[in-house]
A and B are shown apart, each in its own frame.
Chain A
Amino acid sequence: MSGFRILVGCKRVIDYAVKVRVKPDKTGVVTEGVKHSMNPFDEIAVEEAVRMKEKKLASEIIAVSCGPQQCQETLRTALAMGVDRAIHVITEPKEYESMQPIHVSKILSKIATEEKADLVIVGKQAIDDDCNQTGQMTASLLDWPQATFASKIEKSNGDLSVMREIDGGLETIKVKVPAVLTSDLRLNEPRYATLPNIMKAKKKPLVTKKPSDYGVDITPRQEIVSVEDPPVRQAGQKVESVEELVTKLKEAGLV
């Protein structure tokens, strides 16, 4: 076998350093004029795929992003990091607001089949909606084994041995390929897209598709009722002694 064909998911999210603001009408958060970048967990997924290619474990890497026009910037970043080609599944900004992991999973699984991918690697979750569903759903739709929260991926014979981060420790499992993997924080440290590679990425293929091209209906099945800021934390108090602490706790009816 000449190496895996890897499909990676690249979600465009509000940059982690941005202070997120709720829209006045509470329908969502302000995205206009706000810095966006690739979901950090997806960056890790891309990095892992590129490393596999550098180790000659992979033959081709394809990045997919679903969402509005600007997702192409995210895909260009992936291309600059070493992805070979990209597919942009374009949606209207309005549609995108109500898009759910199930929609993305359907699209990813269709593309995985069409592109004859051996591996799908996605971030374990996106930092905007924190869903943690896409990888699992994609595995289910494809009926492939899954290895989620991967913190180390190694090839063993034709299969993969994956170390997973679980409550209280690490677990190593074996999965047969084809499989779906989701990346955890400690899997690797993604590289910077260098400027010469950004120049080269300009010439790499990027195709645009619609959800309907994959027969996926993205009509919303949920309605966002209200988006609110987390409650502001009240200032704390300092106490002089244990006695005072106990008194205060009693006063508050906590002990």
Chain B
Amino acid sequence: MLRASVLRLFSQPIRQTVYLRECLDTSAFPNTLKLYSTQTAVKEQPGTTVSEKEAEETRIGKRRPLENAPFIRELFLGRFAKEMLVYPEMTKEELEHLNQMVQPIEKFFNEGLDSKSIDVNAKIPDEVLQSLKDLGLFGQQIPEEYGGLGLNATEFARLAEITALDGSIAVTLAAHQSIGLKGILIAGTAQQKAKYLPKLATGEHVAAFCLTEPSSGSDAASIQTRATLSEDGKTFLLNGGKIWISNGGIADIFTVFAKTKVTVDGVEKDKVTAFIVEREFGGITSGKPEDKLGIRGSNTCEVHFDNTPVPLENVIGEVGGGFKVAMNILNSGRFSMGSSGAGILKKLIGMTCEHAVSRKQFGSPLAEFGLIQEKFAQMTITTYAMESMAYLTAGVIDLYEKPDVSLEAAIVKVFSSEGCWSCVNECLQILGGLGYMKDYPYERYLRDGRILMIFEGTNEILRLFVALEGMKYAGKELKDAVKIARNPWKNPGVAWKMYKKAVSRQFSSKKRNSENAVSVHQPYNSKLKLHQSLHNTLQYEALLLEGCTEAFQKVVEHLLITHGKEIISAQMDLAKVSNIVIDLYGMTACLSRSNRSYCLGLQNADHEIMLTKAFCKDATKRINTNLKEIYSGPVENNSENYEHIAQAVFKHGGYAASHPLERMW
């Protein structure tokens, strides 16, 4: 009934405000709705200074320090920060301004670009690079006082949707500002910022990020490049070689990571330090551009440093504090891969859709075949979840003074890189033979998108990172419980109870299924009461999310008890933990976003609700499978077999089975 009134009203903003107010007055809706209504309500009555002030405070409230513990880490303890169910939003003015910026970039990317020739010639033409610089795209997050655009994370994410449409350009831009100059931005001194940022903002100077070396990829702490302090203590001499450096051949400014000798408590140690290095300093050579599978127009090459003098004042952060700088840089950039991926997929879904409705086989358009419909649905759900997670994460970054979203950003990166890969693959499949041809952009997007799972932290490393960081967080709080469980003789009473519980979980298969699978409460016996933060229409999904959260917390405890410190090497379990938490974040983001859309009556909000319901259903199925596998242990879930099979392959130096035609006699 209420729903019907929304439908009738949703094209009229003024009435909609009235609708929201009514809901608030009758308390028919949860209090979170207030956040959406305040601003609209204020717009209507310019006289009401009091509520105006309130709204302003809510708005400025985005600069308060983070009060809550980080969302994903908290999930490991079964705690759910309900403010995540209030999807972040911009003010009307901010949005209009952002849309204004979107226009020329969209125009440029739709009309001024020949991505095919960039791919074929493996080079972005100089005029194109110049246009990108003139548009202002090289200084997106640099503050206005240094000549940049001063975009916040949400605005940056929005523009990334468009710049992602050409993979080579996207990576060139990302290498410059998401990693190349980010160190100066987040850890630089005032002098460093004043000296370097203005020219980087206009693109007069291009930046690169130099971490990877031949013997050091994922294991970034093992780098060999060395910086030795001169005798007068004023200059470091940099020596070593970096590989696969994006913009390595075109950059003027490099953020370089090198080992330096540091004395800690009287003991000399090698520690990583970050430096700002100008090509002008001398002793720098770049190799020839690598010939790559995708993002072929992005310049990737070796960079060598031969006694390059770097003044002491060019250290970023502290001497010996470089590893943390590197991790902070990487953590701060990853979230935008979600909007980039969504930007690509939204475009391809549109193009593929046109093909599916016009191409006929067996007398019908492809669009009428169930298997094709399934593909479109899956791609749309994935894109929706990707976009929802990306903007939720960006919103949190913008909302708090010192947000900790390192796990959230890693989740967005893993989900979106894999989502991109599988969805582009499906688009290509729907096109049939056409998709395989270079006259169409699908194969290029497939090749370009492949890098996303490798760089900025491989997806394996990031899965381990998310699971281990979360476990560590939970482990601290659960330390005592875990200790007792692992060493029962110290506290036999408590231990016996836990043991009984664990045994019953392990051995009674009936019970295992009921106790360890996700169970859905009724609203009245729900503990987290997530449904109270959401519209009634999402009540079931809210209860699903609660059930999944509870089951997740149990499995975390189970793993800590079974593995203890050895959890670090239980990689196959850790990946499952990560997969669960990725789905939990996806559910949260979809629920939060579609709830907002539905309550405000955005166009096609019904469709969003359906996407959310579908995502939650699929996610719960996946979570249940992961839970089952973890509880069933390495024998039943096959991980022990996997280990043995791999070991046999390594032992035999490759595929070890006999040829099927082989005979014994």
Q: Are A73 and B99 in contact (CB under 8 A)?
A: yes
Q: Are A73 and B134 in contact (CB under 8 A)?
A: no
Kindly state whether residue A37 has any CB partner on chain B within 8 Å.
yes
Overall SS of chain A's interface: helix
* Complex CA–CA separation, A141 to B105 (angstroms): 39
Inter-chain contacts of B101 with A (CB < 8 A): 195, 198
Q: Mask for A194-222, Cβ within 8 A of B = 1, else 0? A: 11111100100000000000000000000
Contacting B at CB under 8 A, from A54-86, are 73, 76-77, 80
Contacting B at CB under 8 A, from A32-59, are 32-33, 37
Q: Are B603 and A195 in contact (CB under 8 A)?
A: no
Interchain CB contact (< 8 A) of A195 among B96, B99, B135: B135
Contacting B at CB under 8 A, from A219-248, are none
Inter-chain contacts of A197 with B (CB < 8 A): 136
Inter-chain contacts of A76 with B (CB < 8 A): 100
* Complex CA–CA separation, A194 to B135 (angstroms): 4
* Complex CA–CA separation, A76 to B93 (angstroms): 12
Q: Mask for B169-183, Cβ within 8 A of A = 1, else 0? A: 000000000000000
Kindly state whether residue A193 has any CB partner on chain B within 8 Å.
yes
Kindly state whether residue B103 has any CB partner on chain A within 8 Å.
yes
Inter-chain contacts of B603 with A (CB < 8 A): 33
Interchain CB contact (< 8 A) of A37 among B103, B108, B134: B103
* Complex CA–CA separation, A174 to B104 (angstroms): 35
Inter-chain contacts of B140 with A (CB < 8 A): 195
Q: Are B107 and A192 in contact (CB under 8 A)?
A: yes
Q: Mask for A160-204, Cβ within 8 A of B = 1, else 0? A: 000000000000000000000000000000001111111100100
Given contacts A32-B11, A33-B603, contact A196 B136 (CB under 8 A): yes
Interchain CB contact (< 8 A) of A73 among B96, B105, B112: B96
* Complex CA–CA separation, A77 to B97 (angstroms): 10
Q: Are A199 and B149 in contact (CB under 8 A)?
A: yes
Chain B residue nearest to A79 in the complex (CB): B100
Which among B100, B105, B134, B150 has the greatest number of chain A C-beta atoms within 10 A? B100
Q: Mask for B82-115, Cβ within 8 A of A = 1, else 0? A: 0000000000000011011101110110001000
* Complex CA–CA separation, A101 to B147 (angstroms): 42
Inter-chain contacts of A199 with B (CB < 8 A): 136, 144, 149-150
Smallest beta-carbon distance B113→chain A, Å: 12
Q: Are B136 and A77 in contact (CB under 8 A)?
A: no
Chain B residue nearest to A70 in the complex (CB): B96
Kindly state whether residue B41 has any CB partner on chain A within 8 Å.
no
Q: Are A192 and B11 in contact (CB under 8 A)?
A: no
Smallest beta-carbon distance B584→chain A, Å: 33
Q: Are A193 and B11 in contact (CB under 8 A)?
A: no
Measured as residues with beta carbon below 8 angstroms from the partner, the interface class of chain B is 20 to 34
Q: Are B97 and A194 in contact (CB under 8 A)?
A: no
* Complex CA–CA separation, A77 to B101 (angstroms): 9
Kindly state whether residue B157 has any CB partner on chain A within 8 Å.
no
Smallest beta-carbon distance A226→chain B, Å: 24
Inter-chain contacts of B11 with A (CB < 8 A): 32
Q: Are B149 and A195 in contact (CB under 8 A)?
A: yes
Smallest beta-carbon distance A125→chain B, Å: 21
Given contacts A33-B603, A202-B97, contact A196 B149 (CB under 8 A): yes
Chain B residue nearest to A72 in the complex (CB): B96
Measured as residues with beta carbon below 8 angstroms from the partner, the interface class of chain A is 10 to 19
Which among B103, B134, B149 has the greatest number of chain A C-beta atoms within 10 A? B103
* Complex CA–CA separation, A202 to B98 (angstroms): 11
Q: Are B100 and A194 in contact (CB under 8 A)?
A: no
Q: Are A192 and B144 in contact (CB under 8 A)?
A: no
Q: Mask for A23-38, Cβ within 8 A of B = 1, else 0? A: 0000000001100010
Q: Are A192 and B100 in contact (CB under 8 A)?
A: no
Smallest beta-carbon distance A192→chain B, Å: 4
Inter-chain contacts of B112 with A (CB < 8 A): 192
Kindly state whether residue B589 has any CB partner on chain A within 8 Å.
no
Inter-chain contacts of B136 with A (CB < 8 A): 194-197, 199
Kindly state whether residue B344 has any CB partner on chain A within 8 Å.
no
* Complex CA–CA separation, A76 to B135 (angstroms): 16
Q: Are A80 and B100 in contact (CB under 8 A)?
A: yes
Chain A residue nearest to B604 in the complex (CB): A33
Q: Are B97 and A192 in contact (CB under 8 A)?
A: no
Inter-chain contacts of B137 with A (CB < 8 A): 195
Q: Mask for B141-185, Cβ within 8 A of A = 1, else 0? A: 000100101100000000000000000000000000000000000
Contacting A at CB under 8 A, from B505-535, are none
Chain B residue nearest to A199 in the complex (CB): B149
Q: Mask for B125-142, Cβ within 8 A of A = 1, else 0? A: 000000100111101100
Chain B residue nearest to A81 in the complex (CB): B104
Chain B residue nearest to A192 in the complex (CB): B104
Interchain CB contact (< 8 A) of A77 among B100, B131, B147: B100
Given contacts A33-B603, A199-B149, contact A193 B104 (CB under 8 A): yes
* Complex CA–CA separation, A115 to B101 (angstroms): 30
Smallest beta-carbon distance A103→chain B, Å: 26
Q: Mask for B602-632, Cβ within 8 A of A = 1, else 0? A: 0100000000000000000000000000000
Inter-chain contacts of B150 with A (CB < 8 A): 199
Chain A residue nearest to B139 in the complex (CB): A196
Chain A residue nearest to B133 in the complex (CB): A194
Inter-chain contacts of B135 with A (CB < 8 A): 192, 194-195
Smallest beta-carbon distance B173→chain A, Å: 13
* Complex CA–CA separation, A37 to B103 (angstroms): 9
Chain B residue nearest to A76 in the complex (CB): B100
* Complex CA–CA separation, A100 to B139 (angstroms): 43
Inter-chain contacts of B134 with A (CB < 8 A): 192, 194
Q: Mask for B347-382, Cβ within 8 A of A = 1, else 0? A: 000000000000000000000000000000000000
* Complex CA–CA separation, A77 to B107 (angstroms): 13
Inter-chain contacts of B147 with A (CB < 8 A): 196
Chain B residue nearest to A200 in the complex (CB): B144
Q: Are A198 and B108 in contact (CB under 8 A)?
A: no
Inter-chain contacts of B100 with A (CB < 8 A): 73, 76-77, 80, 193, 198
Inter-chain contacts of B97 with A (CB < 8 A): 198, 202
* Complex CA–CA separation, A194 to B136 (angstroms): 6
Interchain CB contact (< 8 A) of B104 among A73, A194, A202: A194
Inter-chain contacts of A32 with B (CB < 8 A): 11
Which among A32, A77, A194 has the greatest number of chain B C-beta atoms within 10 A? A194
Inter-chain contacts of A198 with B (CB < 8 A): 97, 100-101, 104
Q: Are A193 and B103 in contact (CB under 8 A)?
A: yes
Smallest beta-carbon distance B543→chain A, Å: 34
Which among A32, A80, A193 has the greatest number of chain B C-beta atoms within 10 A? A193
Chain A residue nearest to B110 in the complex (CB): A17
Smallest beta-carbon distance B534→chain A, Å: 26
* Complex CA–CA separation, A112 to B165 (angstroms): 43
Contacting A at CB under 8 A, from B202-252, are none
Inter-chain contacts of B108 with A (CB < 8 A): 192
Q: Are A77 and B103 in contact (CB under 8 A)?
A: yes
* Complex CA–CA separation, A192 to B112 (angstroms): 10
Given contacts A33-B603, A73-B96, A202-B97, contact A195 B104 (CB under 8 A): yes
Smallest beta-carbon distance B9→chain A, Å: 14
Inter-chain contacts of B107 with A (CB < 8 A): 192
Smallest beta-carbon distance A203→chain B, Å: 11
Smallest beta-carbon distance B115→chain A, Å: 18
Inter-chain contacts of B139 with A (CB < 8 A): 196
Interface residues of chain B, those whose CB is within 8 Å of chain A, are: 11, 96-97, 99-101, 103-105, 107-108, 112, 131, 134-137, 139-140, 144, 147, 149-150, 603
Pick 11 A–B contacts, CB within 8 A, sort by A.
Answer: A76-B100, A192-B112, A193-B104, A194-B104, A194-B135, A195-B135, A195-B136, A195-B140, A197-B136, A199-B144, A199-B149
Interface residues of chain A, those whose CB is within 8 Å of chain B, are: 32-33, 37, 73, 76-77, 80, 192-199, 202
Add 5 more A-B contacts to A192-B135, A198-B97 (CB < 8 A).
A195-B135, A195-B137, A195-B149, A196-B149, A198-B101
6 cross-chain pairs, A with B, having the tightest CB-CB distances, nearest first: A195-B136, A192-B104, A196-B136, A193-B104, A194-B135, A194-B136
